[in-house]
Structure 1
Amino acid sequence: MSIELMDLAFSVDNVLVAVAYADPGPLASAEQQKAALILLYAGVFIGILAMRFVAQYFVGLMQR
């Protein structure tokens, strides 16, 4: 349960930071905005997966 809460906390943080940096600006075309959103979603997904596997590794390491 604690791993899931940690995943949620870090994923919310990642989303907020990514949204702040992913704004392509008012002059960006629709294609550029779509590409920025796809990159944003991919980054959040990879971050959640990485956190999940790294957290499980560290939990196993601490239990030894």
Structure 2
Amino acid sequence: MTDSQNPDSQNPGSQNADPDRFYFRQLLAGRDFALGNELAVGMANFAYLIGDRGTGECMVIDPAYGVAELN
């Protein structure tokens, strides 16, 4: 069966979908990113990553103050 014929490949919410495909990470400014930035350490902001290992895409939620610096 090809991917186009497999209904699970077209429906990421399927019960048969890979449970490890999606991930959630909580990052702390000054510890996990913006290292060495005293302002980031003092603000103690968290940012959250929600990613899809299948597509390699990721969303950053509440990236604190450095949105333009994210690449």
RCO higher in structure (CA 8 A, sep ≥6): 1
Q: Same fold (TM over 0.5)?
A: no
Name the structure where strand makes up a greater proportion of residues. 2
TM-score band by shorter chain is under 0.3
Q: Which structure is larger by alpha-carbon Rg, 1 or 2?
A: 2
Name the structure where helix makes up a greater proportion of residues. 1
